[in-house]
Amino acid sequence: MPPRSAQQKPASDHPLAFLTGFLQRPKEVASIIPSSRFLMRRVVQGADVAHAKLVVELGPGTGGSTRAMLRAMRPDATLLAIEIHPGFVRLLRRTIDDPRLIVHEGSATDLAAILRQHGLGAPDVVFSGIPFSQIPEAVGLGILHAVQDALAPGGRFVAYQARDRVEKLGRRVFGRPRVQLELLNVPPMRVYRWDRAPAR
């Protein structure tokens, strides 16, 4: 029996919350509706979480992506969700009741300090819906370097984006990604995956 999160409200229960978040902080939210379940299925499959003990989500928004990941995760795994928008943080804390979830209000640029603050080690998976094409390049690069430094050997980083800015920046930090396209989302999204080499 999965923990309670799997049965909780889908993201589509909060369409106005997402739109409100966008109107308040358009550059950081960058979309007026949450990701589709088709996109989330692709991201979850791409993240390959069956054996992951620690997963980090960057930019959970209203939590549709968070719920999808929790449904796929092991019962003893942990999901640290880092969200910069205080309204989304409140909503996530109110609507997802799952002992595996830690919701942290802050910026993905501070990933190392946030992991330390919660006494967590190196994540096996980091996944991100942060709109790299809308945020300053230096911030985007800072986030990618923070992910690179944090990931466990053999870990993976999955980012979904409509534009290719994250790919361009990601190539500078991690090298060449694997790319998939999900058409059943508004707008259609690319899903990028980078793997960190396993320990020798």
Ligand X SMILES: C[S@@+](CC[C@H](N)C(=O)[O-])C[C@H]1O[C@@H](n2cnc3c(N)ncnc32)[C@H](O)[C@@H]1O
Q: Which residues bind ligand X (CB under 6 A)?
A: 28-31, 34-35, 58-61, 64-65, 82-85, 88, 107-109, 129-131
Q: How far is the CB of 106 from ligand X (least distance, A)?
A: 7
Nearer of residues 27 and 178 to ligand X, judged by Cβ? 27
Amino acid 134 reads Q
Q: Which residues are paired to 162 by β-bridges?
A: none
Q: How far apart are CA 69 and CA 57, in angstroms?
A: 9
Nearer of residues 131 and 155 to ligand X, judged by Cβ? 131
Instruction: Give the position of tokens 């466990």.
Output: 152
Q: How far is the CB of 31 from ligand X (least distance, A)?
A: 4
Nearer of residues 53 and 163 to ligand X, judged by Cβ? 163
Nearer of residues 186 and 198 to ligand X, judged by Cβ? 186
Q: How far is the CB of 199 from ligand X (least distance, A)?
A: 28
With both helix axes pointing from N to C terminus, report the angle between 137-150 and 165-173 in degrees, rounded to the nearest 10: 50
Q: How far is the CB of 85 from ligand X (least distance, A)?
A: 4
Q: How far is the CB of 131 from ligand X (least distance, A)?
A: 5
Question: Residues 24-30: contacts with CB within 8 Å, 24+ apart?
Answer: 24/85, 24/87, 25/84, 25/85, 26/134, 27/131, 27/134, 27/135, 28/84, 28/85, 28/130, 28/131, 28/134, 28/135, 29/61, 29/85, 29/131, 30/131, 30/133, 30/134
Q: How far is the CB of 200 from ligand X (least distance, A)?
A: 32
The two tokens of residue 12 are 């589509």
Nearer of residues 37 and 76 to ligand X, judged by Cβ? 37
Nearer of residues 86 and 153 to ligand X, judged by Cβ? 86
CA distances, 109 to each of 137, 157, 196 (Å): 12, 15, 19
